[in-house]
Chain A
Amino acid sequence: MHIIKLDAIDSTNTFLRHLSSEKTVEDYTVVVANSQTKGRGQMGTVWDSQPNKNLMVSVFIDVSFLKIENSFYISMATSLAISNALKAFQIKPVKVKWPNDILADQKKISGVLIENVIKNNQLQASIIGFGLNVNQTYFEQLPSATSMHMVSGKVYHLDEVLLSVIEQLRYYIDILKTGDFQKVKDLYESELFRNNKPSTFKDVKGVLFTGIIKGVSNSGYLQVLIEDEILKEFDLKEVKLLY
């Protein structure tokens, strides 16, 4: 494993992407920053974090072994890696909110931003970026955010947490390399927030409905049991889980 530590950077994902387009980078090259000036969330949202308190990490992984239609498994492996690392530090309860937010005590403790490179209709590389709140003590105007410290009251060594997540990530990616997709999917589903519990959802028209999360499809659609025992699959934009 090759770790690049940066004091301040616009975005670790952007940095790693540029690096990988300029030269060949080793599998599991890790970029970690003390502070990000332009941390990115999903398409335009920002990831804000106090300097030196939390982990902002990007990992380069060669995923050319994966078929393009299985790319959601990268997301499952990443979610599992973070949630299991948190459990190893006795943080609980930890759940994965579909598709890849990590919740501790029902609050967001970690967010993931995965960028894949596709060429010739084939996955080449994945840049897995994640922010993990470790020692931050409060979040201004973010009532639904939390940190490891806020959950347990302890102060953590950032490098230890980082190594634990990377180790877990390698473990789950290695399972995918053996082709045991079902195992990763079963584990991911067992970690899903509100799995097998009646929950309220909001559709694109703003209509509320009740359903029970049963799992995900191979391409990442959420499978929800709705009225009349119908199992319906939802895209991310079609449904919002209320909690």
Chain B
Amino acid sequence: MDIKEIQNLIKFVAKSGASEVKLEMDDVKITIRTGSDDKGDSTTYVQQIPVNQPVTQAIPVAAQAPVAAPAADAPAAASADDSKYITIKSPIIGTFYRKPSPDKPVFVEVGSTIGEGDVLCVIEAMKLFNEIESEVSGKIVKILVDDSSPVEFDQPLFLVDPS
């Protein structure tokens, strides 16, 4: 693994929002921690597995800071903003679908204006297709779940700006 690959990996982890990723391959073991847990000690370790291989690579922490810092700031700013939004949560466990069927357009997109009673998504559980209607009116600010992915009970699905 060369420096470039490791840097790309760090960028990827920073963007993903994960706070820690451990990776072990052949002779390298990498632990990447992002600064999102607010301890200020955003460290990136690249350590070797105790097999004698001369590939010790130490990435200076400072070099990664420009990548990690904006990513760490973003969620904080977003969560401050999010407080004025209404979160629409999943009433059931199932699979989240944004379209009534694969060849149809999505029910809503970011920026869509929705009214009370509008269908937002379908959640399928045990072959029962449940259309979830909105209880509020406003504008879709964020869609928090990808199409066709599993959702848990009470998992946030949409952020709606009611103003």
Residues of A within 8 A of B (CB): 14, 17, 21, 40, 42-44, 68-69, 71-72, 74-75, 99-100, 112-121, 124, 219-221, 235-236
A173–B8 CA distance with the chains assembled, in angstroms: 58
A125 to chain B, nearest CB (A): 9
Once the chains are docked, how many angstroms separate the CA of A97 from the CA of B100?
25
A117 touches B133 (CB 8 A): yes
**Given the interface contacts A43-B101, A43-B102, A44-B101, does A118 sit within 8 Å of B129 by beta carbon?**
no
Query: Closest Cβ of chain B: how far from A207's Cβ, in Å?
Result: 21
Judge whether B127 is part of the interface by a CB distance below 8 angstroms.
yes
Q: Nearest CB to that of A220 among chain B residues?
A: B126
CB < 8 Å neighbour of B124 from A43, A72, A74, A219: A43
Contact of B128 among A44, A75, A119, A221 (CB under 8 A): A75
- Nearest-neighbor residue (CB-CB) of A42 within chain B: B127
CA distance A118 to B153 in the complex (A): 14
Q: Which residues of B contact A21 (CB under 8 A)?
A: 117
Q: How many interface contacts (CB-CB < 8 Å) are there between A and B?
A: 71
Q: Which residues on B sit within 8 Å (CB–CB) of A221?
A: 126
Q: Which of B88-130 contact A (CB under 8 A)?
A: 91-92, 97, 100-103, 117, 122, 124-130
Q: Bound state CA distance, A110 and B20, in angstroms?
A: 50
Please count how many residues in chain B sit with their CB below 8 Å of the partner chain's CB atoms: 21
Binding site of A, secondary structure by majority: helix, strand, loop or mixed? mixed
Would A44 and B126 be within 8 Å (CB), given that A68-B92, A118-B131 are in contact? no
Give CA–CA (A43, B100) in the complex, Å: 8
Closest CB-CB distance, A208 to chain B, in whole Å? Answer: 23
> Which residue of chain A is the closest to B117 with respect to CB atoms?
A119
B97 touches A121 (CB 8 A): no
For A236, the closest partner residue in chain B by CB is B126
B118 to chain A, nearest CB (A): 9
Of the candidates B117, B131, B134, the one whose C-beta lies within 8 Å of that of A115 is B131
Interface string of B126-142 (1 = CB under 8 A from A): 11111111110000000
